[in-house]
């Protein structure tokens, strides 16, 4: 029986080491830094690269890392049945026009799905629901705001009975917008719809990976969780 051929490494034809590439992608996506900020910080460490290299690496490897993180998260979530999903949409300027970034967040504050649309009507809500439910399954409860598109779309999917609406119930998903807002200011907003969708998806998964809830845990617990997250990051796409 012929041996199964091992897939080629995505870092195969790059002169830089995988550790440096992972570090560059993590610094740019995780922290509110510009391309040139990352270039200057790496130069202090003895790594001389151009800011355009930072742009190329995050565009090339960012979606790969995010997909690997998301795959591992989904496999772990399959064992949970009683989980809650929070939904909300945020206004984002793309090329001077207003668009809508739909976000789904679980009961622990981790971002499940990000989806960009030009409108926030029933059709857009249906696309967002189908995308989220296909990836993560059906939650026990779905918390939304008062937007009418939500009940209309949920009625078509037969899950309207799981909807909850409350004044303070959706704070968890509204707080999840803040890290992306900080990145949006540093990047001086987005110029293309495709770029927004790509960065929002990558940023959400990287944020989930390093989200340790430091305000809820003791210092020693947080240090252990942070070390574990960094160790797992170094193994992505290995």
The domain locations on the chain are 18-77+221-233, 84-191
The predicted model gives 113-140 an average pLDDT of 91
Instruction: Report the pLDDT value the prediction gives residue 197, as an integer from 0 to 100.
Output: 93
Helix/strand number for the chain, H first, E second: 9, 5
Residue 5, pLDDT > 60, answer no
Q: What is the pLDDT of residue 67?
A: 93
Q: Distance (Å, rounded) from C-alpha 34 to C-alpha 115?
A: 24
For the structural domain made of 84-191, what CATH number should be given?
3.30.420.10
Write down the mean pLDDT value for the chain. Answer: 89
Asked if 112 contacts 104 with a C-beta cutoff of 8 angstroms, the reply is yes
Mean pLDDT value of segment 38-42: 96
Assess contact for 88 and 170: CB atoms under 8 A: yes
pLDDT confidence of residue 64: 94
- pLDDT number for residue 4: 46
Task: Give Rg (Cα) of the chain.
Answer: 19
User: Across residues 200-229, what is the average pLDDT?
Assistant: 88
Would the pLDDT of 223 be above 70? yes
Query: pLDDT digit string (tens) for 92-114?
Result: 999 889 999 999 998 888 899 99
Q: 35 by DSSP, 3-state: which?
A: helix
Q: What is the pLDDT of residue 92?
A: 92
Question: Residues 148-182: pLDDT tens digits?
Answer: 999 999 999 999 999 999 878 888 888 889 999 99
Flag whether pLDDT at 7 surpasses 70. no
Is 91 in contact with 128 (CB distance < 8 Å)?
no
97-106 vs 84-94, strand pairing mode: antiparallel
Q: Say what the pLDDT of residue 78 is.
A: 67
């Amino acid at each position: 029986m012929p041996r199964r051929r091992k897939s080629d490494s995505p870092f195969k034809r790059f002169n830089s080491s995988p550790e440096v590439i992972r570090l560059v992608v993590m610094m740019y996506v995780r922290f509110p830094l510009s391309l040139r900020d990352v270039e200057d910080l790496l130069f202090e460490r003895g790594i001389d690269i151009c800011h355009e290299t930072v742009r190329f690496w995050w565009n090339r490897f960012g979606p790969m890392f995010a997909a690997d993180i998301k795959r591992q998260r989904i496999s772990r979530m399959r064992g949970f049945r009683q989980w809650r999903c929070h939904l909300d949409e945020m206004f984002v300027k793309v090329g001077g026009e207003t668009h809508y970034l739909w976000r789904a967040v679980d009961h622990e504050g981790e971002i499940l799905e990000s989806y960009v649309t030009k409108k926030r009507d029933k059709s857009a809500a249906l696309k967002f629901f189908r995308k989220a439910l296909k990836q993560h399954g059906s939650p026990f409860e779905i918390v939304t705001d008062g937007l009418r598109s939500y009940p209309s779309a949920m009625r078509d999917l037969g899950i309207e009975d799981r909807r909850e609406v409350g004044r303070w119930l959706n704070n968890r998903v509204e707080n999840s917008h803040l890290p992306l807002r900080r990145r949006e200011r540093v990047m001086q907003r987005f110029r293309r719809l495709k770029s927004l969708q790509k960065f929002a998806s990558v940023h959400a998964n990287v944020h989930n990976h390093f989200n340790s809830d430091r305000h809820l845990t003791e210092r020693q617990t947080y240090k252990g969780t942070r070390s574990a997250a960094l160790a797992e990051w170094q193994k992505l796409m290995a």
